[in-house]
Structure 1
Amino acid sequence: MKLSDFDFDLPESLIATRPARPRSSAKLLVAQGDRIEDRHVRDLPDVLQAGDLLVLNTTKVIPARLTGQRHRDSAQGPVVARVEITLTEPQPDGSWRALAKPLRKLAQGEDIVFAAGLVATVAERGTDDVRLSFNLDGPAFDTALEQAGQMPLPPYIEARRKADEQDRTDYQTVFAREAGAVAAPTASLHFDEDLLAHLRARGVEFAEVTLHVGAGTFLPVKTDDVTDHKMHAEWGHVGATASAQIARARAEGRRVIPVGTTALRVIETAATGPGQIAPYTGMTDIFITPGFRFQIATGLMTNFHLPKSTLMMLVAAMMGQDRIKRIYAHATEHEYRFFSYGDSSLLLPENLS
């Protein structure tokens, strides 16, 4: 498989920089087998069946984008300069890996001072990122980060506008609970409390898992042969309750539909065989490309993805490459909004069981 197999033309005008309001008013492309239907997310109770199991990712996005000042003594006197930090991954010792601008000017041992009394020391500087040790931990760190940080919007939105206070609500799901993500599980952004209530009344069931979405989700694929690409790793958790719900649904012949590629990746990681799943906690770097045999998921709700991305490869694995090309051609022709704040799709291949 070549990277060019997952490319398509996307007009810039279709890249969403703000979400639909209300959330459930976003458009929904329903692809069932070869049939395509144009709906809205609010129509999900009419589209789904009683007994369908939606798998939700309860991860919570932290305000991981920080702006601070570095302080260093030099022969000419104290040096103070602006530094932009994006936290990417917590470490077992309480430190954080982070992206930094400018990276090359940071020195091991120097401090970066942020608002709300938050100070980071450069514990290690790598080729691409740094490891930072903070002066606060636990609830004190969480409180300071909430005050000092901004939501880490995707690069294609940041290039068009800066994050603002509205993004603290917009870029968070209504069922977010487990803090740790630096990017949102964006398919879940379309759900509000009213829609969840209507789905429950329809007889749709929910299972909750966690996958902390990392900054690696935005990394481009740089290898022409996609099988040479190394997938980033993220922390996930499938608890005993969720795994039992999912196993029971599969055993009873009911559909299991992850909301988002993150929920799909973690339940496929936890799979122990066709229709079989066990509790799981740990890292996953599962890379799903055409030819992958889905063990658990029988459908997928997901937004529209970047050309040449690993997520395009995942949806092609779900629907087939020819079919996904037709779906994306339909989406661009009918002016669906793309990426994190864009519209959604419900992919039901009809050949997964």
Structure 2
Amino acid sequence: MADPKKLAIKDFVYELPEERIAKFPLPERDQSRLLLYQKGQITDHTFTDLPALLPPHTLLVFNDTRVVQARLLLQKETGGLVEIFCLEPVAPHREVQLAMQQTGHSTWKCLVGNNKRWKSGPVRLYFEGGMLQAEREAQQEGHFLIRFTWEPAELTFAEVLERCGRLPLPPYLNRDLTPDDHTRYQTIYANQKGAVAAPTAGLHFTDRVLAALASQSIATAYLTLHVGAGTFKPVKSDTMETHEMHAEQLYISKRILERLLQQQGKPVIPVGTTSMRSLESIFWLGAKVLQQPELPPQELHVSQWQAYESINPPSATEALQALLDYMDRQRVDHLHASTQIIIAPGYTFRMCQGLVTNFHQPESTLLLLVSALIGENWRNVYRHALAHDYRFLSYGDSSLLLP
């Protein structure tokens, strides 16, 4: 078995010409192309073919996070602009769902553009019927703590972002926002506000495709992982051992755990790498509470290397049941956890039997995840996609990977 800590990211490189990056979405979501990789064979399809290509009795798992308008352009008293990009909440709530409902004030970890020109004092942004003010509280490694206050104070932070924020498009699109992006950079089932990047594998789904899934008796379920800006974080270290994975917030309902338990022995296929990371993290959280039944809820966290350091892990059934029992003891029907899981060659999948996903950047942790699932065949898949004019990255085409 490969030691994921010793993996060199330079081994996960391929040539991606700029013109192959899809800068804009197609006119119709479900008319994107779909590459099927199954048992070493590659065939070409259209995304509307997906329901017929999935194994019988599949449970398809979606991430229902919704992208928030996390980019803010505020003005200094001298008139210059400061760009602030909200990453994650710190106070009074660390939980994204609660922070979005916070009124009056909130402190967030943020990236700040033009910081050197922001000498002192607050910066402000006026919007129809109100004003948002930002002040730097501290500089930390790679980000700032920014305290926001706003008027009218009864507005929630979600409403403030809705009124004056901008949608954060992926940096590699390298273009300005268009009105179309506001609908097209959200999945049609996006529900829980809190992501700063879309779970892009879901962008291809339409009501027509969801109806076809139902007619093929393909079941669906939803969970929430708020995609962080770390999804675009380049791997700068030579080996994975010194690359720190970003943490993301995960919400797990009793309903999805019961559905996954019922599905054991039949295929579970996530839509997108975030759904896959969530499902595999659920397993490792179950393994953790099995060992520590009295674990405090605030310690529900999957560390980067937990999966590789575990000795005699439980079965998926045992892990799921352990989490359900834990919820009963805590008298809750939802769990809030965080995960830094890294899925790389050498990883043993506990919950997932395939993946629906787009085509990812060279030298990215997402490419490591694809390689963990289908091995060195990822090279054949990407070679085929490049040779057959597939479109790459967030607004690009899709693939169904069935190892």
Q: Same fold (TM over 0.5)?
A: yes
Where do residues 104-143 of structure 1 align in structure 2 (5 Å cutoff)?
Answer: 104-107=116-119, 109-116=121-128, 117-136=131-150, 139-143=155-159
Paired residue for 1:88?
87
Where do residues 228-239 of structure 1 align in structure 2 (5 Å cutoff)?
Answer: 228-239=242-253
Q: For the structure 1 residues 312 and 347, does the alpha-carbon distance in structure 2 shift closer, same or farther, using more than 3 Å as the test? A: same
Q: Is the 8 A contact 2:71 2:166 kept in 1?
A: yes
- Deviation readout 1:62-83 (Å, 9 max, x if unpaired): 0111112022xxxxxxx23111
Q: Is the 8 A contact 2:245 2:340 kept in 1?
A: yes
Q: Is the 8 A contact 1:49 1:202 kept in 2?
A: no
Paired residue for 1:74?
none
Q: Which amino acid aligns with 1:310?
A: T
Shift, 1:84, TM fit: 1.2
Among 226, 233, 236, which residue is 1:219 paired with? 233
Q: For the structure 1 residues 90 and 167, does the alpha-carbon distance in structure 2 shift closer, same or farther, using more than 3 Å as the test? A: same
For residues 257 and 111 of structure 1, what CA distance do their matches in structure 2 show? 46
Paired residue for 2:397?
343
Pick which of 110-119 and 307-316 moved more.
110-119
Among 151, 154, 160, which residue is 1:144 paired with? 160
Q: Which amino acid aligns with 1:145?
A: L
Q: TM-score, normalised by structure 1?
A: 0.91
Q: Which amino acid aligns with 1:340?
A: S
Shift, 1:127, TM fit: 4.7
Paired residue for 1:22?
28
Q: Which amino acid aligns with 2:266?
A: R
Shift, 1:2, TM fit: 1.2
Paired residue for 1:173?
187
Among 296, 304, 308, which residue is 2:351 paired with? 296
For residues 10 and 82 of structure 1, what CA distance do their matches in structure 2 show? 34
Shift, 1:177, TM fit: 0.8
Among 35, 42, 45, which residue is 1:39 paired with? 45
Shift, 1:118, TM fit: 1.9
Paired residue for 2:372?
317
Shift, 1:131, TM fit: 1.7
- Deviation readout 1:36-72 (Å, 9 max, x if unpaired): 110111111211244210010010000111112022x
Shift, 1:11, TM fit: 1.5
Number of matched residues? 337
Shift, 1:19, TM fit: 1.4
For residues 336 and 219 of structure 1, what CA distance do their matches in structure 2 show? 24
Pick which of 126-135 and 163-172 moved more.
126-135
Q: TM-score, normalised by structure 2?
A: 0.80
Shift, 1:18, TM fit: 1.0
For residues 244 and 16 of structure 2, what CA distance do their matches in structure 1 show? 26
Higher helix share: 2
After superposition, the CA RMSD in angstroms is 1.6
Q: Is the 8 A contact 1:100 1:130 kept in 2?
A: yes
For residues 401 and 155 of structure 2, what CA distance do their matches in structure 1 show? 40
Q: Is the 8 A contact 1:108 1:124 kept in 2?
A: no
For residues 178 and 186 of structure 2, what CA distance do their matches in structure 1 show? 13
Gaps of at least 5 residues in structure 2 are 1-6, 93-105, 287-313, 325-334
Q: For the structure 1 residues 87 and 138, does the alpha-carbon distance in structure 2 shift closer, same or farther, using more than 3 Å as the test? A: farther
For residues 204 and 254 of structure 1, what CA distance do their matches in structure 2 show? 11
Q: Secondary structure at the match of 1:135?
A: strand
Question: Segments of 4+ in structure 1 off by > 6 A?
Answer: none
**Identical pairs, percent:** 40
- Deviation readout 1:206-244 (Å, 9 max, x if unpaired): 111000000011010011112321100000012111111
Q: Which amino acid aligns with 1:103?
A: N
Pick which of 209-218 and 114-123 moved more.
114-123
For residues 315 and 274 of structure 1, what CA distance do their matches in structure 2 show? 23
Shift, 1:201, TM fit: 1.3
Shift, 1:138, TM fit: 6.9
Q: Is the 8 A contact 1:55 1:257 kept in 2?
A: yes
For residues 263 and 343 of structure 2, what CA distance do their matches in structure 1 show? 23
Gaps of at least 5 residues in structure 1 are 72-78
Among 275, 278, 281, which residue is 1:263 paired with? 275
Shift, 1:319, TM fit: 0.5
Paired residue for 2:306?
none
1:64 aligns with 2:70: yes
For residues 334 and 220 of structure 1, what CA distance do their matches in structure 2 show? 27
Q: Which amino acid aligns with 1:300?
A: L
For residues 22 and 251 of structure 2, what CA distance do their matches in structure 1 show? 30
Q: Is the 8 A contact 1:103 1:129 kept in 2?
A: no
